[in-house]
């Protein structure tokens, strides 16, 4: 089966499971979540800034989410580093296949690169257990209402954005990441960030 067909099926399943297709859900029911569930313990609202979506050469949409340990994390916390921002889920076969490469990228980084994983609406304990199985120690955030996904106009999983040291989106990749793609896009993103400094 062609990779595009698999990606489309995965996207449709995700949309169906998360009630994002009008009038449909996987079990025929609807769920409602209280807005109070999307604030940190300090009262800081979680989610993403709204806007026209990401554009190459433009600031990456800011977000505030919780990591798997319950800590508040902002995209701007990583200013000064190249950010590999990866949207993924444990049920997504290509996400599972590329996950070890993201672990290696973070572990083998030069200190100016950070991998940030944004998990799509899964249980925090399940996500933490999955990451532990792979020895992942990069920041993994949970997007409970898919607001960060919406801000980035996400069409499918996995999707990866490469953000420079000043917070500008420089590169993107949709679908399975391979080592050569990661290295190439990090190099281009780093160079663009350095060139942009006056």
Strands 169-174 and 63-67: unpaired
pLDDT band (50, 70, 90) for residue 6: low
**Cβ neighbours of residue 175 closer than 8 Å, sequence gap 6 or more:** 3, 7, 94, 156, 158
Residue 142 reports pLDDT greater than 60: yes
- Cα 84 from Cα 96, distance rounded (Å): 16
Please give the backbone phi and psi of residue 185, each rounded to the nearest 5 degrees, phi first: -75, -35
CB of 90 within 8 A of CB of 130?
A: yes
CB of 120 within 8 A of CB of 146?
A: yes
pLDDT digits (tens, 9 = 90+) for 72-95: 999 999 999 999 999 999 999 999
Asked which of 14-18, 73-77, 161-165, 177-181 is least confident by mean pLDDT, the reply is 14-18
Task: Work out the average pLDDT over 147-169.
Answer: 93
Q: What's residue 111's pLDDT?
A: 87
Output the 3-class SS for the chain: CCHHHHHHHHHHHHHHHCCCCCCCCCCCCCCCCCHHHHECCCCCECEECCCCCCCCCCECCCEEEEECCCCEEEHHHHCCCEEEEEEECCCCHHHHHHHHHHHHHHHCCCCCEEEEEEEECCCHHHHHHHHHHHCCCCCEEEECCCHHHHHCCCCCCCEEEEECCCCEEEEEEECCCCHHHHHHHHHHHHHHHHHHCC
Q: What's residue 159's pLDDT?
A: 95
Residue 174 reports pLDDT greater than 80: yes
More confident residue, 197 or 112: 112
Mean pLDDT computed over every residue of the chain? 81
pLDDT digits (tens, 9 = 90+) for 18-30: 444 333 333 333 3
More confident residue, 70 or 18: 70
Q: What is the pTM of this model?
A: 0.76
């Amino acid at each position: 089966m062609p990779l595009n067909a698999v990606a489309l099926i995965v996207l449709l399943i995700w949309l169906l499971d998360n009630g994002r297709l009008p009038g449909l859900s996987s079990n025929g029911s609807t769920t409602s979540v209280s807005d109070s569930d999307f604030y940190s313990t300090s009262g800081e609202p979680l989610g993403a800034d709204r806007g026209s979506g990401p554009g190459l050469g433009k600031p990456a949409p800011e977000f505030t989410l919780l990591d798997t340990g319950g800590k508040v994390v902002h995209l701007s916390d990583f200013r000064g580093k190249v950010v590999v921002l990866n949207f993924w889920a444990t049920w997504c076969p290509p996400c599972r296949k590329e996950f070890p490469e993201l672990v290696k990228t973070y572990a083998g980084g030069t200190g100016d690169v950070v991998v940030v994983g944004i998990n799509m609406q899964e249980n925090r304990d399940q996500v933490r257990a999955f990451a532990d199985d792979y020895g992942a120690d990069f920041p993994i955030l949970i997007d409970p209402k898919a607001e960060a996904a919406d801000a980035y106009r996400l069409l499918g999983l996995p999707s990866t954005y490469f953000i420079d040291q000043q917070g500008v989106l420089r590169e993107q990749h949709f679908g399975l990441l391979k080592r050569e793609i990661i290295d190439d896009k990090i190099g281009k993103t780093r160079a663009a960030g350095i060139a942009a400094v006056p």
